[in-house]
Amino acid sequence: MKVFLPDGNPLELSEGATGTDAAQAIGAGLARAALGIRQNGELRDLGAPLVPDAPIDIVTPKADDADSLWLVRHDAAHVLATAVMELYPGVRMSSGPPIDDGFYYDFEFPDGVAISDADFERIEQKMREHIKAAEEFTREDISSAEAIERFKADDQPYKVELIEDLGVDTVSLYTNGPFTDLCAGPHAPSTKRIKAFKLTSTAGAYWRGDADRQMLTRIYGTAFHSKEELEEHVRRLEEAKARDHRKLGRELGLFWMSDLSPGAPFWKPAGTVLFNQLTGLVRDENAKRGYEEVRTPILTDVGLWKESGHWDKYRDHMYFADVDDRQMGLKPMNCPGHAQLFKSDRHSYRDLPVRMSEAGLVHRHEASGVLHGLLRVRAFVQDDAHIFCTEDQIEQEVIGCLDQGFTIYEMFGFEPTLELSTRPEERIGTDEMWDRAEGALARALESKGLEYAVNDGDGAFYGPKIDLHMTDSIGRSWQLGTVQVDYSMPERFGLTYIGADNAEHTPVMVHRALLGSFERFIGILTEHYAGEFPLWLAPVQALVLPVADRHNEFAEKVVADLVEAGLRAEVDTRSESVGRKIREGELRKAPYMLIVGDREAESGEVSVRRHREGDLGAMALDGFLERARQEVAERS
């Protein structure tokens, strides 16, 4: 039989050859390193029979190879289960997949057993024993009936339920050492391919994600091809922990989360400054580009959502109230309201494009288990905008949205990557509409010479979209903005304009958000900057620190002058040493501290300290103000 190597050259092998045979035929070193194979886009066991006349790629340990990391993390999940099974007799196994940055396994422990981080060293030691033993991963395919009987005999009801729900005649099992698991594979040849691993955390997880089912214990871990990669990952985890916006939000007094309104932040004064500064930025940028700001109700008759098409997709995520015997719903998005505003007036083709913007409060009923600080909430404000235009105007309007996004992101040092998401299986509108919408987005990207990836099937139910992603200062990826083209909603709402031919035409609707939501964006910014916001955004831009009580009067005058000049400034008049005030100012991450003592009070100057930079020396207050104004104006 013949297979083809990545360079296109053929490799002759005997009939029934496996990936192991192919690796050995290429070289002994490759055979020792090989983890698995890729054929026809499928990741498979190294010992799986090869598909004749198909390309083959031998998967080896590489830091940038997602498949090789997937394999060792899958292996590590099974070794974790092996160790737990031996250490905690009577434990019931659920499932344990690899995930983006590691793996986990879910367990039901016997009564009285509670697992915490303190147990990790013991579990890891047992895992190391199985890794050192180089236990092979062996696969067997058996009847579902036989597998059910085996797992029943071992008192593993979760495995039994999984097999029954599969509804298939045969299933595959993988065994490593004393542990056998229900698993579709693939795996690396043996446990010795796990070179570096670490257990990281525990959490509760409902069986099958159902809050009415058993609560299981989830143990998370991660694995890499080398200790150096693992150490770098752990360093990033520690850095991420230090930057956690929930922690910094408490320390910097930005916001408060309460069970009185789960998933809805209470904004404190410092956080409200951030919110208002970003709102002002978006408002200014919108005004430059011809957007008119509008406001729409948060509570409307549910008929609006039925007509828009959102009812079928979003009603399980909406909040409802009965008002005067009418069912009303809190809006989960702003677009239907903007469509009603467009419909309320007559429009000519000469009026188009009509650009509406709204910092609109929306509510979405997210499951309590997924709420996460500001990053996943139930009540949030979107920097939303909708453009009603002719078909000929789509590309230019999309380019304008992207340009505005790039302008805003540049202020934060973000370099976005772009992704074109195409039609999902469940959608509204005709294929012809989708063809035109997807084509318009692709042409807009290509006309600007922008690189982009295609995410097939991930568009909104009403139209395709361009999503803008960024990578923060510690390498995490976030989705920020989105630009979407929608032919369906204007048609469903009966929106029209009078064309040059004096006949009625249906406009196209471009949905656009650039920050996404103010809440999520502030969470991302807080972690990106580790709470050390640029001057224009910082809640307190300057702290004035009198050296002694006799300098308080002069310090308060300095603050008054700063505030009058438009800066956000505070004075610390506590009877504490100036050294302590400086240390606490650093913890507050105030960009500037102005120290005033006898010399400053006499000369009218201030001694300036920059956060992390230290002393900048004495300067006239007017000189400092000019420096600060320029820094604020640059928004950098």
For this structure, is 568 an active site residue?
no
- How far apart are the C-alpha atoms of 76 and 105, rounded to whole Å? 10
- Of 44, 310, 363, 511, the catalytic one is 511
- Whether 484 is a known active-site residue: answer no
Query: What is the separation of C-alpha 258 from the centre of its chain, rounded to a whole number of angstroms?
Result: 23
Among the options 106, 384, 472, 572, which is catalytic?
384
Examine the residue annotation and report whether 183 is marked as an active-site residue of this protein.
Answer: no
Separation between Cα atoms, residue 296 and residue 386, nearest integer Å = 13
Among the listed residues 130, 310, 355, 465, the single catalytic one is 465
Active-site residue (options: 183, 335, 389, 401): 335
Q: Do 144 and 163 form a contact (C-beta atoms < 8 A)? A: yes
Q: How many helices (H) and strands (E) does the chain have?
A: 20, 33
First-to-last CA distance in the chain? Answer: 62
**Omega before 189 within 30 of 0, i.e. cis:** no
For the record, the structure tokens of 198 come out as 């670490």
Q: Is 335 tagged catalytic?
A: yes
Strand partners, 468: 418
Enumerate residues 6+ apart whose C-beta is below 8 A from 36.
Answer: 19, 43, 44, 45, 46, 59, 67, 68, 71, 186, 187, 188
Clarify whether 505 is annotated catalytic: no
3-class secondary structure, 588? coil
Count of positions (residues) in the chain: 636
Task: Give the separation between CA 189 and CA 454, rounded to whole angstroms.
Answer: 34
Distance CA 478, CA 469 (A): 5
Residue among 310, 386, 427, 492 flagged as catalytic: 386
Q: Which long-range contacts (CB under 8 A, 24 or more apart) does 402-405 make?
A: 402/444, 402/445, 402/448, 402/450, 402/466, 402/468, 402/483, 404/285, 404/289, 404/514, 405/468, 405/480, 405/481, 405/483, 405/514
**Rg value, the chain, Cα:** 30
In the residue annotation, 520 being an active-site residue is answered as: no
Question: What is d(CA 288, CA 408) in angstroms, rounded to the nearest whole number?
Answer: 13
The one catalytic residue among 39, 156, 382, 541: 382
Residue 382 known to be catalytic: yes
Helices (H), 222-268: 227-243, 245-251
Catalytic positions are 335, 364, 382, 384, 386, 465, 511
